[in-house]
Amino acid sequence: MKKLVLIDGNAIIHRAFHALPPLSTKDGQPTNAVYGFFTMLFKIIEDLRPEYLIVCFDKKAPTFRKQMYVGYQATRPKISDELVPQIDVVHKALDSAKIPHFEIDGYEADDLIGTISKEAKKKDLQTIIVSGDRDLLQLVNTKVLMLAPIVGMTKMTLFDETKVKEKYGLEPGQIVDYKALVGDASDNYPGVSGIGPKTASGLLNKYQTLEGIYQHLRELSPQIQEKLAQDAEQAALAKKLATIVMDAPVKLEESEAEIGKIDKKALKKVFKKLGFKSLLTRLSKGEDIKAQKEVKKEDDKSDQLGLL
């Protein structure tokens, strides 16, 4: 099965910025997030050997979730002044390298990743999502996996359905129901007041979904009944906010996303300008290995024809 890697651009850029020490060009332009992003991108390509690669980003414009709930993500800290220009540098570098990347007004990167992964499944591709955002675990299934950074930029965990169940005690599809009950502090929306992680997991293991819990409300203790009844609308809203959209206006074009179409010469120019000597070496080494493999293939063919 051919592989498609979907990178959550904002999540990886932010992780790189906070994981790496300050770096800058000779003229003082900060570059640690850019360096970390492409370091991880190379590692992903080397380790996973995908046939296709796409990067998805959040757009600055308000999303439909903000329209549903005005407080959505309202408490998130302001992006560092040193990080803001680096996001634009990453975008331009991806453009130069002809690596497809998407961002759409009104949608989060999660929604674009969800939509593309759904289309990839129909095309019988295995999708590997690269992100530290646990919301994306709801997309995991037989053909969709998630590679999540755990420590720094190199230690990662690959989540399949079994790993999600092992880690969270829930099926991937239950992540949205879980967040409907406990809320999400990072995105600043409440769930059901007084329902914590342990209670939420217990209820979902027994009744499967938020709707299933409410259908069996009378079976629960009076205290739990009261909490659920009081915050029913709040829980329903939380589930909508947590649910990743699978029909965003984005399309998977395999021919545009082929790894082989990455413009390495253009990427070398970008790295040279930014002073990324180790990435230049890494890129050149990768090309040398590829060239050696091509020569070996030709030698093998000649040997088979009795020419050697």
Q: Which residues, in sequence order, are CB contacts of 308 under 8 Å at separation 6+?
A: 299, 302
Residue 46 is given by DSSP the state H
Q: What is the rounded average pLDDT of the residues 224-251?
A: 97
pLDDT of residue 292: 37
pLDDT of residue 139: 98
Q: What is the rounded average pLDDT of the residues 235-241?
A: 97
Q: Which residues, in sequence order, are CB contacts of 132 under 8 Å at separation 6+?
A: 8, 11, 12, 15, 148, 149
Pairing, β 101-102 against β 126-130: unpaired
Sheet-wide strand order for 52-56: 101-102, 52-56, 3-8, 126-130, 144-151, 155-159
Q: How confident is the model at residue 152 (pLDDT cuts 50, 70, 90)?
A: low
% of the chain beyond a pLDDT of 90: 84
pLDDT in tens, 89-146: 999 999 999 999 999 999 999 999 999 999 999 999 999 999 999 999 999 999 999 9
Residue 28 is given by DSSP the state -
Whether pTM > 0.85 for this model: the answer is yes
Residue 303 has pLDDT above 90, yes or no: no
pLDDT of residue 76: 87
Residue 294 has pLDDT above 50, yes or no: no
**CB 119, CB 63: distance < 8 Å:** no
Lowest mean pLDDT among 57-66, 106-115, 157-166: 57-66
**Distances in whole angstroms, Cα of residue 59 to Cα of each of 102, 108, 112, 123:** 9, 7, 11, 27
Residue 61 has pLDDT above 90, yes or no: no
Residue 72 has pLDDT above 50, yes or no: yes
3-state helix, strand, coil in the chain (%, to 5): 55, 10, 30
pLDDT of residue 297: 45
**CB 5, CB 113: distance < 8 Å:** no
pLDDT of residue 304: 42
Residue 302 has pLDDT above 50, yes or no: no
Nearest to 86 by CA among 167, 146, 9, 157: 9
Q: What is the rounded average pLDDT of the residues 172-197?
A: 95
**How many C-beta atoms surround the C-beta of residue 276 within 10 A?**
22
**CB 189, CB 239: distance < 8 Å:** no
**CB 128, CB 50: distance < 8 Å:** yes
Residue 295 has pLDDT above 80, yes or no: no
pLDDT of residue 200: 97
**How many C-beta atoms surround the C-beta of residue 46 within 10 A?**
11
Residue 280 region, left (φ>0) first, then alpha (ψ -120 to 50), else beta?
A: alpha
Nearest to 230 by CA among 195, 185, 186, 179: 195
Q: How confident is the model at residue 308 (pLDDT cuts 50, 70, 90)?
A: very low
pLDDT of residue 28: 94
Q: How confident is the model at residue 286 (pLDDT cuts 50, 70, 90)?
A: low
Nearest to 82 by CA among 21, 9, 149: 21
- CB burial class (10 A; 0-12, 13-18, 19+) of residue 293? exposed
pLDDT averaged over the chain? 91
Q: What is the rounded average pLDDT of the residues 273-296?
A: 68
Residue 258 is given by DSSP the state B
Q: How confident is the model at residue 287 (pLDDT cuts 50, 70, 90)?
A: low
Written as one string, the DSSP assignment of 124-155 is: T-EEEEE-S-GGGGGG-BTTEEEEEEEETTTE
Residue 289 has pLDDT above 70, yes or no: no
